[in-house]
Amino acid sequence: MTADLLAAAAAAPGFMPPDEGRALYEAARAVAVPGPLLEIGSWMGKSALYLAAAARETGRQVVTVDHHRGSEEHQPGWEYHDPALVDPLVGRVDTLPAFRRTIAAAGAEDVVVAVVTRSELLAPLWSTPLALLFLDGSHTEESARRDQDAWVGKLAVGGTLAVHDVFPDPADGGQAPFGVYSRVLASGEFTELPGTGSLRLLRRTG
């Protein structure tokens, strides 16, 4: 079953390279503290399946948080806009149907719980300590900082924070996730674990 989920994750649409997806899976599988795995930013479910593979092995649940209206780069006129994802009834991007198909086709509906909302709206309602938090939402400075402020404090001591698209060199990509990673590391409450590509992993120690 794990092999099937990993194969489905690799084949699913999305922007996560296979080595980073596998590293996310390994990080989620290795977390020793209890609690769910929660991701901010799901797109069409690719990363959710990597997390689902670990959750299936370890008896956890994956919670995905996404408004499914797309980030800035997915809007009309931007680089990653796909007109096929626009709901003609409302004239806005809607990735939820594609996400649901991805999760259902992989047989992962029993371990993946989708919450359709903006992360900052859910955060005040959330009290369960997280075993793993994966930050991969909108990459503007404002939204990345908002996700950090809302969710990092909900990670259990001993839990793992995963931040995607961390590029120290501005020539390689946007700097908002790198800012999150840098601020969290500078807090003194986390130690860095080996990362892969643009995926950075940190363990909460205090």
Q: Which residues are tagged catalytic?
A: 139
C-alpha span between 122 and 116 (Å, rounded): 9
Phi and psi angles of residue 159, each rounded to the nearest 5 degrees, phi first: -80, 170
Please give the torsion angle defined by the CA atoms of residues 78, 99, 63 and 203, in that order, rounded to the nearest 10 degrees.
Answer: -50
- CA neighbor of 70 nearest in space, from 29, 22, 105, 118: 118
Q: Are 155 and 133 in contact (CB under 8 A)?
A: yes
C-alpha span between 88 and 83 (Å, rounded): 10
Q: Are 105 and 97 in contact (CB under 8 A)?
A: no
Phi and psi angles of residue 104, each rounded to the nearest 5 degrees, phi first: -65, -45
Write b or e for each residue in 32-69: b if 16 or more Cβ atoms lie within 10 A of its Cβ, otherwise e. ebebbbbbbbbbbbbbbbbbbbbbbebebbbbbbbbbb
